[in-house]
Chains A and B, each alone.
Chain A
């Protein structure tokens, strides 16, 4: 483990203890105070940005929640702030003074936009203390998932000690760390990466294997840390949404995005896809916009713009196929179809990265 992960673990354990041992009235404030202290210590830039944007978002939600222009202004501010930081993170070398790490920026930007929109829809009644608890919840701030305010506050209100839940929480934490360390960092990063180099002479096989390695490593990392976040939240007495549900078993791309990084997919569906499709009545444009948003959320680069478009095309093809599935008769319902569909989906995912990478490299060079 790195120093950061070690301190992160210590902070989470401290929060779990404080959440039950402090006087009842101060327990939630204790959690937020430790979380805020952690962010201030490890990423002062994130703390400052989080403080400023939270102040802006909360002020708009409190005093201008029924004014759509102010809500739109708040959303634009969040997006511009996020894109600026992503631009610096992508294009500056880490030695640059401007390349400061901003911990959790991608998650708290999504939470801020969600808060603004739901306040406008009157689904949220602003409360400063609860807003602080929501924004500075450490288990979900570093590696997600993107929690929703109404569910989060409901969980805080219902919070109580449950030994069965605590046992399940410890199980999730152990599994989470084991997946990150044993499967992700040791098995995939140290062992399998070396094995892939054997196939370097065969460029197609090598590119496919390298892409497979990237996807599995990413899955081990993301799902492992999500499991740790879910586990520590349960230990505190709060249920947060699951982020992964066996995505590599998906038999089409739509199903894959319903199982991979679920909180981000559903956020993009609610706040990008649905508004665009309801105003334009053109699902294809909405799908492209939603997937590009997912791409930019990861990184502001040509690669991720193409990546978003590639997945949008895949989803659009899936929708088209599902609409015309009846033409194939009973074949799509037969036992042989599922393995074929899985094979096609899996190869569309894994085979996509080398293609996108090659185009992105070409565009970076020529454009």
Chain B
């Protein structure tokens, strides 16, 4: 293969990788927005974990 062909192939593969990354992030953003409806408000400020208090996971908001 000539140098020009290899250079063109590199450009094309770089373009596809770039497009794949863009699509991946768009997918992640859309999925995050979609799944946000399943969010719970348990981890605001501090937990209101009912029942077994000693087993509660710790809030990430301190």
Contacts and interface: CB of A to CB of B under 8 A. Distances in A.
B60 A222 contact: yes
A357 B54 contact: yes
A103 B61 contact: yes
For chain B, what secondary structure do more than half of its interface residues adopt (helix, strand, loop), or is it mixed?
loop
Contacts, number: 85
Contact of A103 (B35, B39, B45): B45
Contact of B54 (A221, A298, A361): A361
Interface in B4-48: 25, 28-29, 31-32, 35-36, 38-41, 43-46, 48
Contacts of A239: none
B14 to A, nearest CB: 15
Contact of B52 (A142, A182, A357): A357
A346 interface: no
Contacts of A101: 44-46
B24 to A, nearest CB: 9
A212 B31 CA distance: 25
Bin chain B's interface residue count.
20 to 34
B55 interface: yes
A283 interface: no
A174 B57 contact: no
B40 A177 contact: no
Interface stretch (A183-191, A245-253, A317-325): A183-191
A125 B40 CA distance: 44
B34 to A, nearest CB: 9
A301 interface: yes
Nearest to A221: B60
29 contacts: A2-B41, A4-B44, A5-B39, A101-B44, A101-B46, A104-B62, A106-B62, A143-B60, A143-B61, A143-B62, A174-B25, A174-B32, A175-B28, A177-B32, A178-B28, A178-B31, A181-B35, A181-B36, A185-B40, A189-B40, A190-B38, A214-B56, A221-B43, A222-B60, A225-B61, A298-B58, A301-B54, A356-B54, A357-B55
Given A144-B62, A357-B52, 6 more contacts: A101-B44, A101-B46, A106-B62, A182-B35, A189-B38, A301-B53
Interface of B: 25, 28-29, 31-32, 35-36, 38-41, 43-46, 48, 52-58, 60-62
